[in-house]
Amino acid sequence: MSDHQPSASRETRPGLLKGLLFLGVIAVSVAFLAAFVLSQRSAEGPLVVEEAPAPLSVDVMQAELKSALDLEEKFSGLVRARRSSDLGFSGGGRIADVTADVGDRVRAGQTLAVLDTRALRSQLASAEAQVAEAQASHKLAMSTVERQQTLLEKGHVAQQRVDEAAAQASTAQARIDAAKAQAESLRVQIDLARITAPYAGVITERMYDEGAIASPSAPVFKLVETGALEARIGLPSAVASELEAGRIYTLRSEQADVGARLRNVTGVIEAGQRTVTSTFDIIEPENVSVGAVVRLQMSRQVQEPGLWVPVSALSEGQRGLWSLYIAKREDNGWRVRPGLVEIVQNEGDRAYVRGAVSEGDRIIIDGLQRITPGQSVSPRFGETAETANGG
């Protein structure tokens, strides 16, 4: 027993010393950390925020309500020739000569192309010879009738001989008429073997050259009238009803402004575009080209109370409405309050709206992503506001 006790005492003392040493290290660490924290504290104690943040500076415009909306609307249309024709020969044949080309301005009655008519002229000469032959036969038949009538009066011949001579004279007259009709038909064919301009205009297409065989009724030229131009413009029925037939309106194009007299309004709403076609006769056709785009500008008033605001002042809301942010004075300061509005007319960078806006309200016009309802702001009048109000 005495041999084991000293060994146990030696094992216990080192374990106790290690525990005391560990506790000492922890105590020193805690003391060092406390000293560091105390050294970092302010002499005035913990910092406490006592002042509110500075209000956010925002650009605003002052609401100026209008009782109605004055609109300047533009409607576009195309200039077109009042008449355009595909010109060709009524009968086929070989083209002998072409005297007009694309781009040529031609006058009414000018010859543009002719067919080879040598065969027709030969037939016409034969028909005219038949007319002369028939006329000679008729002259002889009439002389025979006169002689037989004289002999009948003297009693030398019977009435039948007179009737037979008269019948031969009638047959000769019929041959004359048939020969003349044949000759006239050939003259018409020769005349139709020539293309002439039915009105003054410009050649826009040429399909055949000399020597080509033209088919009956095949187009050889396309002629567009230049002396009489018109413009057809689709208008909303409400605008079309305000136009006056016979009145002169100004149409604007890239080339020039031209006067145009309103000829008529169809009064029928086209199903596809929901517009009414109005036709204008251009008074100065030399100042505008066929195919040019022209615009009719119309002023009208819409009885909708509201105001103009820049598009940058709007944020999309719900159910087709939009939101404005208004700076309102509250408790000796300005705070952001929202207002719902509806867009009546949109014109590029501005919009005419109606809704929860009062006369004199300061509407925030920019930087909507930086603000929230109830936020404190400092309003200042921006340049965009002058553009919106000035229209």
Model confidence pLDDT, tens digit, residues 24-81: 778 777 777 777 766 666 555 555 545 667 889 999 999 999 988 887 888 999 999 9
* φ/ψ bin of 30: left (φ > 0), alpha (ψ from -120 to 50), beta (otherwise): alpha
What's the pLDDT band for 152 if we cut at 50, 70, 90? confident
pLDDT top residue among 106 and 8:
106
Q: Which strands, in side-by-side order, build the sheet including 105-106?
A: 84-88, 219-225, 201-206, 105-106
* φ/ψ bin of 369: left (φ > 0), alpha (ψ from -120 to 50), beta (otherwise): alpha
What's the pLDDT band for 209 if we cut at 50, 70, 90? very high
> Average pLDDT of 86-106?
91
C-alpha triplet 168, 173, 179: angle, nearest 5°? 125
What's the pLDDT band for 111 if we cut at 50, 70, 90? very high
Residue 203's pLDDT is what?
93
d(CA 258, CA 288): 8
Residue 263's pLDDT is what?
92
d(CA 166, CA 155): 18
What's the pLDDT band for 385 if we cut at 50, 70, 90? low
Per-residue pLDDT at 150 exceeds 80: no
> Average pLDDT of 356-360?
91
> Average pLDDT of 83-102?
91
> Average pLDDT of 166-176?
83
Q: Provide the token pair at 9.
A: 């005492």
Kindly report which listed range (59-73, 159-173, 307-321) carries the lowest average pLDDT score.
Answer: 159-173
Q: Could you read off the pLDDT of 229-239 as tens digits, one per residue? A: 999 999 888 88
What's the pLDDT band for 249 if we cut at 50, 70, 90? very high
Q: At what angle do helices 159-192 and 118-154 cross, to 10 degrees?
A: 160
Residue 166's pLDDT is what?
79
What's the pLDDT band for 353 if we cut at 50, 70, 90? very high
The mean pLDDT value of the chain amounts to 83
Asked whether 199 and 110 are in contact (CB, 8 A), the reply is no
Per-residue pLDDT at 159 exceeds 50: yes
> Average pLDDT of 252-265?
90
pLDDT top residue among 195 and 271:
195
